Each structure stands twice: as structure tokens, then as C-alpha cells.
Homo-oligomer: A and B are copies of this chain.
Amino acid sequence: MFSSMSSSRVRKEVDEALMTFVDRQRPVLLSISDDMAPMLAALDVLLAGGKRLRPAFCYWGWRAAGGEDRPEAVAAAASLELLQASALIHDDVMDASDTRRGQPSVHRRFQAMAEAAGWPGAADSFGEGAAILLGDVCLAWSGEMYDQCGLSLEALQRARHWYDLMRTEVMCGQYLDMLEQARGTGSVATALRVIEYKSAKYTIERPLHLGAALAGAGPETLGALSAYGLPLGIAFQLRDDVLGVFGDPAQTGKPAGDDLREGKRTVLVALALQRATPAQAAVVADRLSDPALDLAGVGQLRALMVDTGALAACEAMIESYAAEARAALDTAPISAEARTALTELAIAATARTV
């Protein structure tokens, strides 16, 4: 997805830093017990996928603030991928998702392991428990990797505020997301608030701030990165919501219509309800959150989102937020190289294909 040499090089270095870290943990786990091997295998599978968006934004936040190209900065950035792994593993338990990145989700993987072994205990509980623990391991390791990246203790401590805030914000955002889903309500405004914390800050603004703060950025640079990162983060999540309904499973790594079955209260859904006739609203009430929703049902809800104009409205919002981000970038006090990379990342984060 990254077109420039430098972006693909960053991605490769992030991958290498991740593998180096996990390889260092491997003997620690296996010295506790050979029985830990399935946990490592599950993590390997999960980390093989993913776009490394958050590390990329963190790295370019560092460069934007004048940081040199250094492997230590890449390692600090790569630690965000372990935080993301934790969030995905736990999110899949909470949503009872069967797949992630085109593979069985971690809890399903361990459930299948228990079923194959024929253990007497409940396989689904075992799968969920193993996934909760692996998510905890990833969360702990993300902090560990950050602290071991090799940057100075002063730089790590200076930027820690943003790391801490980012974690708290994403967890709160996920809670609010789940709350809207449980309540079964959700206006465009409440859905946007969820997006802000769960996604826009977590995926883009805070990784930029973290990288920039590591390089010693002042308020002006941090503010400029917010002006770019927040609207881009909203556009990114709106794109993700559209892909969650209309995306190609081969690209999203999730079955068609999974977000509809899970009943996600996205901005797209809120836009549809805002525009729906009473008959259309009844269809949404009837089919959204139906775990047994088949492809015909997915097609019906897709058509409804087109017919109500919700899809077009959502695309217009994506374009508007993305344009706001691009405009902010034009005037940001950052290096030409960082501007180029962040322009590419803006395109990648909002592209119609994954």
C-alpha cells in the first residue's frame, strides 16, 4: 500500500523490529513450559498480517519533529503494533468475531485446539480465556518493547504521557462503542464521538504525537499534527466502516457483512437511519445485529444504504475530512520528506481498497 521506497522500507524495519522483540520473548515463554508454544504460534499468525499504520504514523511523527532516521525510533513505533494486537484480540472476544486478518480469530483458534484435543472442559470458555490472556501479554509487551527501544530514558519519559493517554483513550473509546451497541441507539453525533477516541486519536493523532514527543516536539508541531491527524483519523474510520459493509472479504479479511451481523452502530448506520423511511427503518431494526444474517440480508441492507443516500453522504464526509487533513499538512511546520510521507499515508488510510 505504500508507494514510496522510504515508506516500504519503514514497514520492513517495523516488521523486523517486531520479530526481533517476539523472538527474544520466545525462550522466556518456552522456559516456563512447552505448553506456551500455541500462544506464540497464535501471536505469530496475527502479527503476520496488518498494515502497520500506527507504527508508520509514529515514525513519521518522529521525523516530522526533526528526529533522524534511527532504528531506535522504528522500534518505539513498532511497539504500537503489539498494542494493536492486544486490542484486536480482545475486540474479537467482545464481538464474538470468527475471523481476523483472514485467519480464525485467536479465541476461535484456541477453541478449535481444545475441541481437537477432546478435552472435557468447555472449549469456548478455554478459547476466550486464552485470548484474554494473549491480549494481556501483548498489552504488557507493547510497553516493554517501548521501554527497550534504545532511545534515551529522558526521551521515553517525555513522550510517555502520549503513550499513556492513547491507551486510556482507546480503551474508553471501545467501551463507548460497546455501550452504543448495547443501547441500540446511536446518532451521527454519538457515533462520531466514539470514532474520535476509539479510532482517530488512537490510530493517527496519538501515534504522531508519540513520535513527535520522542523527538522533542513543542506545542506548535503537536498542534499541527493534530490538525492533520484528527480529521484524517475520522476519515480513516469512516472508510473502515464502509469497507465493513461493502468491502471484499478477500481484502478485509472478514466475511461480508460481519459489521452488520455484529450490529455495529457506525456513522454509516446512523446516516441510514437518519434518512430512512419508516419501512426502511423497520428493515434496519429487523436485520441489523442478526447473527444469522445471510448474504441476501447483507444485500438488502447494502441496497438500503445506497437508496437512502447514506453511502454517498458517508463518502462525502470522508472526502471532506481527508481534504481538511491535506490542507493542514500544507501549512504544517515539518520537513518536506515527512510531508510527502504523511500525504501518502493519508491516501493509504482512506483508500477504497484495503
Contacts and interface: CB of A to CB of B under 8 A. Distances in A.
Contacts of A32: 169, 172-173, 176, 197
A174 B114 contact: no
Given A36-B175, A90-B132, A147-B160, A121 B168 contact: no
B136 A35 contact: no
A125 B96 contact: yes
Given A120-B183, A136-B139, 14 more contacts: A28-B168, A90-B132, A94-B125, A94-B129, A119-B183, A120-B182, A121-B289, A122-B182, A129-B175, A129-B178, A132-B135, A140-B167, A141-B168, A143-B143
A183 B123 CA distance: 10
A36 B173 CA distance: 10
A303 interface: no
Interface of A: 25, 28-29, 32-33, 35-36, 39, 86, 90, 93-94, 96, 114, 117, 119-123, 125-126, 128-130, 132-133, 135-137, 139-141, 143-144, 147, 153-154, 157, 160, 164-165, 167-169, 171-176, 178-179, 181-184, 193, 197, 263, 289
A154 B157 contact: no
